[in-house]
Structure 1
């Protein structure tokens, strides 16, 4: 069972490396990517059941990760929103918690923690499917 992820990151190198790392080290399959808030919202609205996990940077080519997370706050309980950014501090973590972000990771120091989080979510999805069968 794969976890379907959607990645919103404006730096193409970081985006490609993140997608490759997650697909290589976990059961994540990236269903799509974008560099802007509007493009991401368009995809998410067109594919409401096409994702289990959204990974979003705070600063995008257009828009912001915080605003995007606010816009998709109403979702199925099994769908998770993760912020992955270089600009993480206690006030950002607090704001993310207030708007319903499920996890926050610093790009410079917490990539392993993000991979672990994704692996755990893959396990959780697989377990739920086994229990439902």
Structure 2
């Protein structure tokens, strides 16, 4: 099973580091980069030399928002698989995120196990050919 090339968009360094350690320990995930703000994330994701299988996005960032990252992701070809991990996973936020192309929304406070399970299922079904990760144009 090939590791999911994953990009993390999270402004809290502590949460980001803990999330990376947890995911890389428990599921086949390779974190290939991270950003604390919207513009850095979008710029990185637009680079064709940065193939990713999954992007995990927080809603509230140091600058900009995760909603902007999701909005930008909709315009990328091929589309990038994005999920949201937030402390503000209200019904309204979930609806907005899904409308902007998020595949799933997880609450940081009580859905980490569900996030890990999701990533595990995704890794099992990830493409295994060399260079098969999603590549934005």
Question: TM-score, normalised to structure 2's length?
Answer: 0.87
More helix per residue: 1
Name stretches of at least 5 consecutive residues in structure 2 with no aligned partner: 130-137
The size of the alignment, in residue pairs, is 128
Name stretches of at least 5 consecutive residues in structure 1 with no aligned partner: none
Alignment match, 1:17: 18
Alignment match, 1:36: 37
How far apart are 1:47 and its partner, in Å?
3.8
Confirm or deny: 8 A CA contact 2:44 2:50 kept in the other structure: no
Superposition RMSD in Å: 1.7
Greater mean deviation of Cα atoms: 110-119 or 49-58: 49-58
Alignment partner of 1:98 is 2:99? yes
Confirm or deny: 8 A CA contact 2:9 2:56 kept in the other structure: yes
Once the two structures are superposed, residues 14-36 of structure 1 have per-residue CA deviations (whole angstroms, 9 ceiling, x without a partner) of: 00000000000000100001101
Distance 1:121 1:103, change over 3 A: same
Q: Which has the higher contact order (CA 8 A, sep 6+)?
A: 2
Question: TM-score, normalised to structure 1's length?
Answer: 0.90
